[in-house]
Amino acid sequence: MITATHFYNYTRCPRKVYLDFFGDAEKKLPHSEFMLSRFRIGREHEKDVAKNIKYVAPEKTAKDEEKFRQTVKFMEQGASIIFQGVLIDKDFIGRPDILIKVPGQSRLGDYHYEAIDIKVAVHAKKQYIMQIMFYSSMLQKIQEKMPEFTYLILNNKSKKLHTYDYMNQYAEALVEIKNIASGCEAEVHICSECGECPWRDVCLEKAEKEKDISLIYNLGRKSKELLIENNIDNFEKAADMDVDLLKNIKGLGEASLRRWKTQSRALIDKKTIKIGNPNLPKAKTEIYFDIEGEPDIDIEYLFGLWTEGEYIYFLAKSPEEEKKAWKGFIDFFKDKEDFKIYHYAPYEKNALKKLRKKYGCDEETYRKITNNMIDLFSVVKKTAVLPLYSYSIKDIAKHLGFEWSEKDASGGQSTIWFTRWLAEKDPALIDTILQYNKDDVLATEKVKEWLQDLE
Ligand code: SF4
């Protein structure tokens, strides 16, 4: 059976669809605590939305065929809202959160239905749109009319989408998914998506065995295709590729090719290759900085700083406290002079920009802070090529010997602890969040010290 999940997964990684059909289920890892929590939060959000509407729904305990029969019956009776109905058409089965009756002739009468899906998200991502397009196309078969609109209920808003705008994308995805379902193998592509994927061990083993070029850091799917077309189909070949020969191919820039070539060499030799100087500025006070935020509820809940052997933090224990934490953070720098703030990747700078817009602040202090921020991720990239598949702070600091107190901790995991804190108010969760953030700023210090040694 093809389901909406296949469309979701196809948008993220076509191989996921392939492995879900044909992979060895015993090698599929269980969902991480992070993913299980996302699913739970999703179900709670659906319940919250449903609380405020009057609807009919098929019997919860019924089998899918029976639920489908009941859903069609509700549609034929002209029910205003059908909650968690089931749509079946040959090998397709869809479970839209809501079907809503709207005017417009169909085989049902002078009305038809449009699909609504409920998501814990701020934006209408492509994978969600493909899912509701799937429901819309199933509705077309059942009611003999393509719904003109479809909707996503997100965290604080809903999004109305014109189905005709997405018809081509949907049709392309459908063809590809049918091909995969009939046995056409989708290739491995190691990328950030793999981190939470239950097939990650299977794919990594295959990619390493084949020296797949997607293991080269920052090599996207399109570039991979172009390199393979030019017979560079593993990273041993990439390490020896003739950049001058390839650099004029549209889509392959010289700088990227040189970087991938060096990256391949680092992977083969399992050695770091120095390519520049970090040129870190001197300052009386060095500060290491990391923010924890939960984009799905639009909050930056923790500003953590490590300076002169002390961990200092500004914590918002609820969305209402975010403004206070922000103010505390800004005030900390009011009288500070001659300092540098080290952070990793652009998240911190973007978050400060967003909070300044949201709450305002002392402009002079804000400028002082942002003018003294140094993104170590940028410094790493111009200084060294590491024998790693990813340049995340976790991968780099672990490679340098740093260990997090919580073995499987991640930014995503921290958001789960925070979401649980909001619901359960268990102080132990706050301690865990703080420890994780403290480890992050210490890891940032570790990376900075390593860079300094490369001067
Ligand atoms: S591990 Fe990566 S390549 Fe493999 S299926 Fe998952 S996302 Fe795709």
d(CA 193, CA 127): 13
d(CA 13, CA 19): 10
Averaged confidence pLDDT in the chain: 95
Backbone angles phi, psi at 248, to 5 degrees: -90, 0
pLDDT of residue 365: 97
For 198, which DSSP code? T
Backbone angles phi, psi at 18, to 5 degrees: -60, -50
| pLDDT band with cut points at 50, 70 and 90 for residue 41 | confident
Whether residues 321 and 262 fall in one domain: no
Whether residues 175 and 291 fall in one domain: no
Q: Tell me the best of 8, 12, 13, 35 to mutate to test the pocket of ligand 1, counting ligand atoms within 8 Å of each CB and taking the most.
A: 13
CB-defined site of ligand 1, < 6 Å = 13, 15-16, 19, 188-190, 193-194, 197, 199-200, 203
State the complex-level ipTM: 0.99
On whether the CB atoms of residues 111 and 147 are closer than 8 A, the answer is no
CATH number, domain with residue 357: 3.30.420.10
pLDDT of residue 83: 96
Whether residues 6 and 149 fall in one domain: yes
pLDDT of residue 52: 86
Give me ligand 1 centre to Cα 189, in Å.
6
Total structural domains in the chain? 3
Is residue 100 in some structural domain? Answer: yes
pLDDT of residue 131: 97
Which contiguous run of DSSP H or E holds residue 137? Answer: helix 126-143
What are the CA-CA distances from residue 434 to residues 54, 188, 207, 244 (Å)? Answer: 42, 37, 36, 50
- State which ligand 1 atom lies nearest to the alpha carbon of 18: 5
Whether residues 381 and 435 fall in one domain: yes
Instruction: Mark which of 138, 159, 181 sits at the end of a domain.
Output: 181
On whether the CB atoms of residues 35 and 120 are closer than 8 A, the answer is no
pLDDT of residue 33: 79
Is residue 189 in some structural domain? Answer: no
DSSP 106-120: ETTEEEEEEEEEE-S
Is residue 220 in some structural domain? Answer: yes
Higher pLDDT, 34 or 138: 138
Give me ligand 1 centre to Cα 193, in Å.
7
pLDDT of residue 44: 86
On whether the CB atoms of residues 243 and 219 are closer than 8 A, the answer is no
Whether residues 139 and 226 fall in one domain: no
Comparing C-alpha atoms, which of 139, 159, 219, 198 is closest to residue 20? 198
Would the pLDDT of 174 be above 90?
yes
Instruction: Mark which of 159, 181, 203 sits at the end of a domain.
Output: 181
Q: What is the mean pLDDT of residues 422-441?
A: 94
| pLDDT band with cut points at 50, 70 and 90 for residue 102 | very high
Whether residues 6 and 145 fall in one domain: yes
Q: What is the mean pLDDT of residues 348-370?
A: 97
Higher pLDDT, 422 or 225: 225
Give the start-end residues of each E strand in 318-418: 339-343, 373-375, 384-385
Give pLDDT tens digits for 258-300: 999 999 999 999 999 999 999 999 999 999 999 999 887 789 9
Whether residues 122 and 252 fall in one domain: no
Whether residues 42 and 66 fall in one domain: yes
Q: Tell me the best of 27, 188, 192 to mutate to test the pocket of ligand 1, counting ligand atoms within 8 Å of each CB and taking the most.
A: 188
Whether residues 266 and 289 fall in one domain: no
The side-by-side arrangement of strands in the sheet containing 299-307 is 310-315, 299-307, 285-294, 339-343, 373-375
Residue owning the nearest CA to atom 4 of ligand 1: 203
Give pLDDT tens digits for 120-170: 888 889 999 999 999 999 999 999 999 999 999 987 788 999 999 999 999
Residue owning the nearest CA to atom 1 of ligand 1: 200
Whether residues 262 and 308 fall in one domain: no
Whether residues 175 and 72 fall in one domain: yes
**Domain range for 423:** 285-453
Whether residues 368 and 246 fall in one domain: no
